[in-house]
A = this chain, B = another copy of it.
């Protein structure tokens, strides 16, 4: 079974997208578990903060739980900043022991994220009231090996959901449910349009 790991800056839209992809998977009758970052922090390790080591620990433990669920044929969705490359790769290593790992990078510039800023956190961080806020006064490392890139600045949530589902389809991740005839893809034209725009914007190499 698979884990879809949505990573990106605060306010990049990763949780919204993760939740909408979850809806699609539920429609496909996958018994999906959404390991929400806030929930994990609250219940698994409320003692963890936001230092580099604590963020790595948060990511590693979440990957371990995802692996356990994947081992039992439960697909998992994770939405976490995952700011460090070593954690991104470690999550892959852990989960691939039992399942398939799909790293979805929800790409968004700091400026756009800061303009959205639904919780007002960027502003607080810039005013010096939050320590270690990703992208303001703490690092964010773009992934070297994302399986799917979603541009949340220039695409709507609907387009992004379609892009993720189509890519999952192409990658064969959804294979076992395809035979049941459920259609979730964008049309090829719509998908091509998104792909073209991503290429123009420099996000896809091929």
Contact = CB atoms under 8 A, between A and B. Distances in A.
Interface of A: 31, 33, 35, 43-45, 47, 57, 61, 64-65, 68-69, 71-74
A35 B35 CA distance: 19
Contacts of A68: 33, 35, 65, 69
Nearest to A74: B72
Nearest to A35: B68
- List the number of copies, as a whole number: 2
B72 A44 contact: no
Nearest to A42: B64
Contact of A69 (B43, B57, B72): B72
B64 A33 contact: no
A6 B57 CA distance: 28
B31 A44 contact: no
B74 A33 contact: no
A64 B62 CA distance: 12
18 contacts: A31-B72, A33-B68, A33-B71, A33-B72, A35-B68, A43-B64, A44-B61, A44-B64, A45-B61, A47-B57, A65-B65, A65-B68, A68-B69, A69-B69, A69-B72, A69-B74, A72-B74, A74-B74
